[in-house]
Structure 1
């Protein structure tokens, strides 16, 4: 990797934090088809809010979704809107803890929260831990460099300053992976010339294919704080 590429990988999560929030589409594969979440994520409060739809045969999860690193709230709907209403409904929500292993959806939700950091990663350690340049590709009109983050075995070492950790509050680490979220193998980034993150691809042990996170797929809408909630029986 060139010094410019390393520096862009090191700041990409920090830029998400500086932007306060990003619009994102999360493609979560499963054996029955998968889920697509069209959402906004606030990287200052680590809160997400959006619409979830099933693809293929799996439509049982359709509706609105709100989440933090510890809690998931779902609002079932038979015909969800294209984008979530700016103000979430006041009732009809079901709450549960976010699971840190064994559930692909929750792993994906934790990972996307971890893609913001209040400081840049350590650029000096990224190449030492296996970060690499892969190629170039245009993403929705934006020229990007494709980069692999640090290896899982390198990132799981004791040095928390290795960079590229994308640590969510639940303990999720991206790239590199962490047993707590079931991530496996290399995490791949599509990064613009200024360090902006446009796409991330993550292998998750419980998923048949990688989870794909596409940023700026719709207009970002400020995310309201998640109300204090206890899991619904």
Structure 2
């Protein structure tokens, strides 16, 4: 569940980010790239039920690997999933483990292109891979483009600040559609992103389980 400071509290926002906060926000994606691998849990909303992916993302290889579990009608697609910026592969399993095997099966995979405009799952996977960059963002531009501080919070015992993201170059008007939970060093612990056509957001949580190595893309 998400927590926001009560209206009127001295710790409540939103407000413009300070220079220090802009610097933290600017290095957040670079910190993911420097760490290379992050353990992730992705909650994807949908009319047929929520999908949950538990696995890892490799921000240098731009790839991910995990187990996919659904609630409601979406449980028919339960199994393993691996993806890159251009491709998704699914491997159905009758019984889905809590974590993916270190060595994925060599057969039984069904592949298709990843299309961020095709649906919530593809959009969520694209958002996740976009949370890494080989260089920091421009801290001076973030306040100008709408980045704001929202509240102080905690994630799994870690003190964090909640920020709204700025407008992106490819999605004008997107300021406030993405929220980042960052610690004092700019490390991401959670990201929440609104997506078209869905009432609930995509939620990405980091470091809630052990990292599983992402296999090399085929």
Q: Fold match, TM over 0.5?
A: yes
Post-superposition offset of 1:185: 5.4
Correspondent of 1:126 among 122, 142, 152: 142
Residues 24 and 38 of structure 1 are in contact (CA less than 8 Å); yes or no, is this contact kept in structure 2?
Answer: yes
Query: 1:222 aligned to 2:201?
Result: no
Matched, 1:20 2:33: no
In 2, Cα distance between equivalents of 1:142 and 1:58:
33
> Among residues 49, 54, 66, which one is paired with 2:82 in the alignment?
66
8 A Cα contact 2:32 2:131, kept in partner:
yes
Q: Which one of 84, 87, 91 corresponds to residue 107 of structure 2?
A: 91
Structure 1 distance, partners of 2:21, 2:72, is 38
1:176 Cα deviation after fit: 6.5
Q: Which residue of 2 aligns with 1:207?
A: 198
Deviations 1:59-113 (A, max 9, x none): 0110000000100000001211000001111111011111131310000001100
3-state SS of the aligned residue for 2:144?
helix
Unaligned runs of 5+ in 2: 1-16
Partners in 2 of 1:197 and 1:16 — Cα distance? Answer: 8
SS at match of 1:219: coil
Contact 1:31–1:208, Cα closer than 8 Å, also in 2: no
Looking at structure 2, the residues matched to 59 and 76 of structure 1 have their Cα atoms a distance apart, in angstroms, of: 10
How many residues are aligned here? Answer: 202
CA-to-partner distance for each residue in 1:125-165, whole Å, 9 max, x for gaps?
000000000001100111000000113xxx237xxxxxxxx
- Residues 39 and 207 in structure 2, CA contact (< 8 A), matched pair in contact too: yes
Give, in whole Å, the separation in 2 of the partners of 1:139 and 1:112.
18
The change in CA–CA distance for 1:76 and 1:176 in structure 2 (over 3 A counts) is farther
Unaligned runs of 5+ in 1: 158-172, 178-183, 228-233
Runs of 4+ aligned structure 1 residues displaced above 3 Å come to none
SS of corresponding position for 2:101: coil
Aligned mates of 2:121, 2:173 — CA distance in 1: 18
Name the counterpart of 1:82: 98
The answer (yes or no) to whether the contact 2:26–2:138 under 8 Å persists in 1 is yes
Root-mean-square deviation (Å): 1.6
In the alignment, the residues of structure 2 paired with residue 206 and residue 68 of structure 1 have an alpha-carbon distance, to the nearest angstrom, of 24
Question: Quick one: distance in 1 between partners of 2:27 and 2:152?
Answer: 19
